[in-house]
Structure 1
Amino acid sequence: MDLETLLSFEWGIMMPEFIILGVATVMTLLDLFMPKGLKRKILGWIGFAGILAAIVSLIGLLDYPVTTILFDTFRLDSFAKAFKLILLVGAALVMLLAISYEPKEGLTEYRSEFFYLFLTALLGAMIVTSSGDLITLYVGLELLSLSSYILAGLRKENRRSNEAAMKYVVNGSISTAITLFGVSYVYGLTGTTNIAAMREILLALNDSQSVYLLVISFLMIFVGLSFKIAAAPFHMWAPDVYEGAPTPVTAFLSVVSKIAGFVLLVRVMLSIFANAVTDGPNSTSILLTMEDTIAFIAGVTMVVGNVVALQQKNMKRLFAYSSIAHAGYILVAIASLSLFMFDSLWFYLIAYLFMNLGAFAIIQTLTEKSDSEDSSHFSGLYTRAPILAVAMAVMILSLAGIPGTAGFIGKLNIITGALVREQANYVLVSVMIATTVISYVFYFGIMVQMFFRKAKVKDPIKIPVGTGIVIGVCAVATVLLGIFPNIAFDFLQAQFYEFGDFLR
């Protein structure tokens, strides 16, 4: 590739990625040359400023038309812009949590790594959202995964953290291998890794042998990515990793990493398998043929997540299973394959981002100086810190899907999307409603601890500035989106006018 070709690319569409990459590089160099006695929290604030700059640059690209560079391996379309915005907002809030994080054993020696590994993981997630080629997708996925593995085990003196990192590496490697195995079939049939080129070739492949291989490919890719989003029965790593990882990392994995997993799943499934058709007189797309498989996994995920959560006393394990259950809810939106799928998916991920990060911010505040994250830490919270208890109540009500919160609107959109189809999926909607009712038991159990149990300790609760900002933003956003959901939907329609543009 000559210099003239390189200069001809519209590099401006990669400005958010360049900002994150540049800030991560600068932070690495600063850490190298900063005196050892100087506190590394300043690097966290630099990283936070970098994420804000990336958000501003992305907002400047919202009106940009669909653009591809590097031979269609990197795309800027409505899909990429919409989900990249969620990733950046979530990462900014997680960075504030990381700045405020002061565990019992401390993180003095590797506090700096704690910050710039966040940025490299974020960069990987952003690359995934804009990938137009399977190789680029894989590079972004691995950058996200490898950074996450290290972050999960960053508390080197903590045995649970070491165990979390080991389990995450093993399960992550297995899921990546399965995904690549499935991708290899598609590559073998099409002879290209470019997603746009694959679509054109797959339209002409409708013989029985090709369809058979594509079905195997679909199952392999779906299973591999189900590990990434912690969908049952491929969720076994999540509770241990969530419990052992530092709390900001747990928040990152439960929100930002999970969003990236769903983005990858939707982009691959709709870009490739929506165009691949079965053979015979009643030919239909492979994606529609495998709809029942997605629905089955969604149902199992909702049941496992909510039922097993009933037995949990550790707050991070409880929220791990809660996260698994919410993955099931989101899979219902994907399984419905309705006209409202993108709108439902986008809104629910925004709602999930705020209500989950807000909950983790409060969990971090109450448990970071303790050796456990037992639910007893929430006993009598209303008498110790009324504002904190009310904020946690808002997050829990939203997670439970109570009217007046963003979580309720998100679930309502998903249920509506599943029912307005030509063939309404009543069974899946029934499972979703039933498991949501089951979730009230453990969610409201936390409320009972906060408002109706006596406090075991009377110590005042100090809320760091960063954590306080996260709690405030999440609580306000959760209520605001629950009462005025059109704020999000109007913005969605005004800025991201056509999600289907990534299929062109």
Structure 2
Amino acid sequence: MEQYLLDFDLKVMAPELVIVSAAALLSVIDLVLKESVPRKIIGVLSLLSVIAAGVFVGMGFDHPSYQILGDTYRIDPYSLTFKGIILAGTALVLLFSLGQKKEDPEAKEGEYYYLLLTAVLGGMIMVSSADLITLFVGLELLSLSSYILVGIRKKELQSNEAAWKYVVLGGVSSAFILYGMSFVYGLTGSTNLFTIQQRMMEALNGGYELIIFLSLFLMVVGFGFKIATAPFQMWTPDVYQGASTPITAFLSVVSKTAAFAFVMRILLIAYVPLINTGAWEEVVGPLLIIIAALSMIVGNTVALKQTNAKRLMAYSSIAQAGYILVPLATLGLMPFSSMAYYLLVYLFMTMGAFCIIDLVTRESENEKISAFAGLHRKSPWLAFAMSVFLISLAGIPVTAGFFGKFYLLTSAVSSQKFWLAGIMIVTTIISYYYYFGIIRQMYFRSAPSVAAIPVPWTAGLVIVIGLAGTIGLGIYPDAVVQFLGKINWGLGLSPAENMMQQ
């Protein structure tokens, strides 16, 4: 008997339905509102919709896993965890945006807010999809919304240039992914990841190993662009610098989280036969390990000579992507838990850091690191908060970032990739120089002015939440890791019949 969309329990899709309904409703509200009415009301409603979706995600952990449309779309512990991180990051971005000045697009352009909602909807679709078509739809929804958000400051040349580069290179990366998917479909005759998994083994036995590796290589190239890993990172510094700071934070945290979940879904479902035949250990693993190592080396070494704060954070993000890729590349101890923990830690410390960067650079009208000179005299609490975020990003012991990197390092060591663990340690030590360069400016350089930096209450709340998360996850890392360890990650990578047996 055929099943249609309305035959399923759509309550399980409450988070997505809340976001898509809010985006549609707010676009209509924006059209009917007079131009004199501040668009921040749309931002507030967007924030409320994201919070409501987050509540539904939290409630989803108490319900059995569910699939709809022939196992095309799944609601399981895997997807719910990543959705929670995505929605938390989006809520902080919206809160951050609400503190922007009146002349900024965040304050006067209503589409800014509902484009953020469509972007996060794309990310949520990506983490729940088990089909190449819905995965690609989610990817493009996130990507297209992000392209517009990067270039929303239409009168700024730097923003226009960044958006143009992002569109061109983003389109190229999507083409690589789609081309790789076409080979997979040609070999297996299906777009469902679990059907592909079954037929992939037949293709391997049938002598089509070369085409399978070609499809994988094409998709890895596209994935490399999406998660900003070397040698596909060339768009990152220009886009991070040209975009408004809240959007830079969104790309750094939310978009990266969705992309990693997307990559893991495809590699660990469709290409799992390569693990069984040993081809993963011979080809796929080394390829991913090389990309991870290159990202750590390139990101940290090029960051050493950066003078622009946002470009420095862009190269830091490239390095962080390399660290996060390690559990997937090595398939070591607790790959899912260690990756989810680090993404959560990265969310708090990066959001807080970008918020302070925005406040400082706006006040001084200077995006260089020298804008932080003497910050401890002007705004001691901002200097303290920024120091905490930077120390955590550097992975100094007894911080959340340290424990996050320790768990990632454990994945490399447990799989006996000692040289990769060595690169992680060496590049982390290298990163101390540029992170502490900002701290040196804050505490050991004099400021041209000692006037306090005004902090909107929304920005202050983002910083406080970031501090609480960074310090809390550093003091009680075991509690969070134990919670993540109890999650049945395997359900996200198992066929529908296994979900019914939970």
The alignment's TM-score, normalised by the length of structure 1, stands at 0.95
The Cα shift of 1:63 comes to 2.0
Residue matched to 1:502: 493
Native 8 Å contact 1:233 1:300 kept in 2? yes
Residue matched to 1:250: 248
Residue matched to 1:214: 212
Structure 1: distance between partners of 2:21 and 2:301: 44
Native 8 Å contact 1:101 1:368 kept in 2? no
Picking from 298, 303, 309, the partner of 2:303 is 309
Residue matched to 1:475: 467
Structure 2: distance between partners of 1:376 and 1:109: 28
Query: Compared with structure 1, are the counterparts of its residues 7 and 65 closer, same or farther at alpha carbon in structure 2 (3 Å cutoff)?
Result: same
Residue matched to 2:84: 85
Picking from 138, 141, 145, the partner of 1:140 is 138
The Cα shift of 1:109 comes to 8.3
The Cα shift of 1:203 comes to 2.5
The Cα shift of 1:275 comes to 2.0
Residue 73, structure 1, aligned to residue 65, structure 2: no
Query: Compared with structure 1, are the counterparts of its residues 174 and 498 closer, same or farther at alpha carbon in structure 2 (3 Å cutoff)?
Result: closer
Equivalent residues in 2 for 1:146-165 (5 A)?
146-165=144-163
Picking from 432, 456, 459, the partner of 2:448 is 456
Native 8 Å contact 1:336 1:418 kept in 2? yes
The one-letter code matched in structure 1 to 2:111 is: E
Residue matched to 1:97: 96
Equivalent residues in 2 for 1:101-250 (5 A)?
101-102=100-101, 106-107=104-105, 110-207=108-205, 209-250=207-248
Query: Compared with structure 1, are the counterparts of its residues 294 and 63 closer, same or farther at alpha carbon in structure 2 (3 Å cutoff)?
Result: same
The one-letter code matched in structure 1 to 2:139 is: L
Structure 1: distance between partners of 2:230 and 2:322: 8
Residue matched to 1:431: 423
Of residues 338-347 and 126-135 in structure 1, the stretch that sits farther from structure 2 once superposed is 338-347
The one-letter code matched in structure 2 to 1:416 is: T
Native 8 Å contact 1:182 1:221 kept in 2? yes
Residue matched to 1:38: 37
Of residues 450-459 and 431-440 in structure 1, the stretch that sits farther from structure 2 once superposed is 450-459
CA-based RMSD of the aligned residues comes to: 1.7
Native 8 Å contact 2:327 2:339 kept in 1? yes
SS at match of 2:177: helix
The one-letter code matched in structure 2 to 1:12 is: K
The Cα shift of 1:277 comes to 6.2
Structure 2: distance between partners of 1:257 and 1:357: 13
Structure 1: distance between partners of 2:106 and 2:54: 29
Structure 2: distance between partners of 1:497 and 1:338: 17
Structure 2: distance between partners of 1:47 and 1:360: 21
1:63-116: CA deviation from partner (whole Å, max 9, x where unpaired): 22221102221101111011111001111001111111228x533885211111
Native 8 Å contact 2:18 2:53 kept in 1? yes
Picking from 267, 271, 274, the partner of 1:273 is 271
The Cα shift of 1:290 comes to 1.3
Structure 2: distance between partners of 1:6 and 1:164: 40
Query: Compared with structure 1, are the counterparts of its residues 394 and 499 closer, same or farther at alpha carbon in structure 2 (3 Å cutoff)?
Result: farther
The Cα shift of 1:208 comes to 6.3
> For structure 2, which runs of at least 5 residues remain unmatched after alignment?
496-502
Structure 2: distance between partners of 1:153 and 1:39: 21
SS at match of 1:457: coil
Native 8 Å contact 2:274 2:280 kept in 1? yes
Structure 2: distance between partners of 1:116 and 1:251: 17
Structure 2: distance between partners of 1:415 and 1:477: 21
The Cα shift of 1:286 comes to 3.7
Native 8 Å contact 1:215 1:286 kept in 2? no
Query: Compared with structure 1, are the counterparts of its residues 407 and 324 closer, same or farther at alpha carbon in structure 2 (3 Å cutoff)?
Result: same
Native 8 Å contact 1:270 1:287 kept in 2? no
Structure 2: distance between partners of 1:179 and 1:99: 35
Residue matched to 2:407: 413
Structure 1: distance between partners of 2:476 and 2:240: 32
Structure 2: distance between partners of 1:268 and 1:96: 33
Residue 297, structure 1, aligned to residue 291, structure 2: yes
Of residues 208-217 and 50-59 in structure 1, the stretch that sits farther from structure 2 once superposed is 208-217
Picking from 393, 402, 418, the partner of 2:396 is 402
The Cα shift of 1:285 comes to 4.4
Structure 1: distance between partners of 2:303 and 2:490: 35
Query: Compared with structure 1, are the counterparts of its residues 165 and 194 closer, same or farther at alpha carbon in structure 2 (3 Å cutoff)?
Result: same
Equivalent residues in 2 for 1:46-61 (5 A)?
46-61=45-60
Structure 2: distance between partners of 1:464 and 1:277: 51
The Cα shift of 1:27 comes to 1.1
Residue 16, structure 1, aligned to residue 5, structure 2: no
Picking from 470, 477, 488, the partner of 1:485 is 477
SS at match of 1:75: strand
Structure 2: distance between partners of 1:355 and 1:378: 18
Structure 2: distance between partners of 1:24 and 1:62: 25
Native 8 Å contact 2:38 2:108 kept in 1? no
Query: Compared with structure 1, are the counterparts of its residues 493 and 355 closer, same or farther at alpha carbon in structure 2 (3 Å cutoff)?
Result: same
Structure 1: distance between partners of 2:256 and 2:84: 15
SS at match of 1:100: coil
Structure 1: distance between partners of 2:297 and 2:27: 44
Native 8 Å contact 1:102 1:368 kept in 2? no
The Cα shift of 1:165 comes to 0.2
Structure 2: distance between partners of 1:326 and 1:236: 15
Query: Compared with structure 1, are the counterparts of its residues 65 and 339 closer, same or farther at alpha carbon in structure 2 (3 Å cutoff)?
Result: farther
Native 8 Å contact 1:203 1:277 kept in 2? no
